Structure 1
């Protein structure tokens, strides 16, 4: 099954933290301002041709990409079919599907702090194939193809809780004390959504009208969204039915509404970029890249049903994912390179193109084999009040 990627769920567009606010201070008022420093690309490799996973690090200051940073720091492979990653605090967490591991590494040195074997943590059946990972409140949460969501403490790395959800869960998002989970059912049809109530651990799994193979899930402007993909039939032809679409979901009513065409999406929630908070509407960048068709990108304001076309100054040759830096708003589109036969090269390094918010190309970086996910890093600097 083609593994559709998720983009990150709800993202914050910036932070400003006060550090000096004294009326007696004659000097300029200062505060700590968060700024973007770089990005990471998760490369799944190609298990069929025995190409291992890797991690690419992009440094904004030098506009360079460094390949295989995990292996260089640790002297060993990241594993097979890495699928997702996040920065949380001073650590990076990577979900490595076929190796059944969550790799915890130091953000600065890239040295491994802990390798969590998910089948040891949850059980051989429950912990198989960790898929997607998020973090909140001193815990990381991840899905497994064993049908579970697990919560792990970020200090002790001990299992805090686990919840049984639907079949083959993929993306997950936290909203208002709940975790919503997209259960794909491995693209066989009948996929649904689970809601975990974190206050009482109750899990409700519900079929949603119009949703058949949800892979990514988002919460923006008080609306739940899923990225729904086609359903595939049995061998040998694996005939596809359905469409790639971003859908707004009413979990309570069990209904959904299509709001945009696309098989990849990222949600961006602008926030505080100065000392004065401004409420800004969340929005999506949606990439529609049908196999053999012409790719396109649209922008959709959360709560709207009218996507607007976004013209990129240069579209990658074989796009396979869209992401956005939550602080500077830059757009990143992952892509395969084309092989000698004019088809995507699934065994060679890919690349990612960086655009500004208007879709103008800024940089192009080489990535590893099977690039499938991105996440972003930041730091703080002293800034002066206006």
Structure 2
């Protein structure tokens, strides 16, 4: 009887805690604005920044830098969608624009949020377990799920048409021609990582082959010459992270760069790479910045920050390059639990400005006219 009473008391306590949490979460964080230098009138309206928020904190958020006015706005989603009780959700993992809609992958909340790109008002939600990244092809959105598949979503009805089986714990994905390439990680199996890229025929939505690359693949992007750049995270101990190139004409690995790479972005003839590798020698994180000429496939000496500003960046986390000006935008996650920062460098590597963001700023997308 005593145990039964104790259980009931714990259940009541748990219920009251949940109810209190829900009430607390209903409060809407107001939008904040900061004035920054404007970029003038260009083909780019501005830049969306998706803040991951620390896992389990339910603090994913959306910021926007308006090029014309120079205004930096924080917490757009909360202000535009005050009736959404839990806000954007837990761990924003990817953000893309397709047509007039903004697609936000929220990993911890197991959902794809679809927003109006101008107002950021919520239009729909598609539930996908442990979703990771999104890509598009002919009015379909392709979303990777750690459950071992790619969900195919109709961008008009917001319904899942089909699920394409790929490798274990798929991560980033990219479309080249009529093929979809998916980086498989096997991230849940540290003793038996996946090491392949799944190749999907977008006419049939079936996996046609797998390309052997390296263990624990993660980020994947296609350059303008049809080559794929893909990162391997290694095993976090003996095998270091690395960057590989896959020729999509032959679907074979053509080059290994032997540089550590956590994430990267591509702009015209260049790849901009950041690495935050843990050193078991110094028991600390070693940060590095690299730049590659993708046309010639050679490493450019000296990285891409040229004015010494890297000393101010604690934990580089996300990166994007303006498609018109080639300005470089780099996020700093700092300690992963407090507000981060966004840095802007011009194409010569000199700092233009920085601004405080939400927690763990990670993913960026340019909103073009």
User: Does structure 1 retain, via aligned residues, the 8 Å contact 2:340–2:357?
Assistant: yes
Structure 1 match to 2:270: 283
Check if 1:41 corresponds to 2:49: yes
Distance between the aligned counterparts of 1:112 and 1:248, measured in 2?
A: 37
Structure 2 match to 1:58: 65
CA deviations on 1:93-123 (whole Å, 9 max, x unpaired) are 10011111111111111110111122xxxxx
Distance between the aligned counterparts of 1:134 and 1:46, measured in 2?
A: 24
TM-score (norm 2): 0.78
Tell me the matched-pair count.
310
Check if 1:84 corresponds to 2:94: yes
Structure 2 match to 1:117: 127
TM-score (norm 1): 0.75
User: Does structure 1 retain, via aligned residues, the 8 Å contact 2:105–2:112?
Assistant: yes
**Higher alpha-carbon deviation: 198-207 or 315-324:** 198-207
User: Does structure 2 retain, via aligned residues, the 8 Å contact 1:37–1:378?
Assistant: yes
Q: Which structure has greater helix proportion?
A: 2
CA deviations on 1:117-144 (whole Å, 9 max, x unpaired) are 22xxxxxxxxx11100122322211111
Structure 1: runs of 5+ lacking an equivalent: 1-32, 119-127, 233-239, 270-281, 338-344, 380-386
Structure 2 match to 1:237: none
| Residue 306 of structure 1, CA deviation | 2.0
| Residue 190 of structure 1, CA deviation | 2.8
Structure 2 match to 1:310: 303
CA deviations on 1:296-328 (whole Å, 9 max, x unpaired) are 322212253421133412112221122212232
Check if 1:214 corresponds to 2:217: yes
Structure 1 match to 2:324: 327
The partner residue of 2:194 within 190, 193, 198 is: 190
Distance between the aligned counterparts of 2:160 and 2:89, measured in 1?
A: 22
Tell me which of the two structures has the higher relative contact order, counting C-alpha pairs closer than 8 angstroms and 6 or more residues apart: 1
Structure 2 match to 1:3: none
Check if 1:301 corresponds to 2:302: no
Structure 2 match to 1:68: 75
Aligned Cα root-mean-square deviation (Å):
2.1
Distance between the aligned counterparts of 2:79 and 2:155, measured in 1?
A: 24
The partner residue of 2:104 within 78, 88, 94 is: 94
Structure 1 match to 2:138: 137
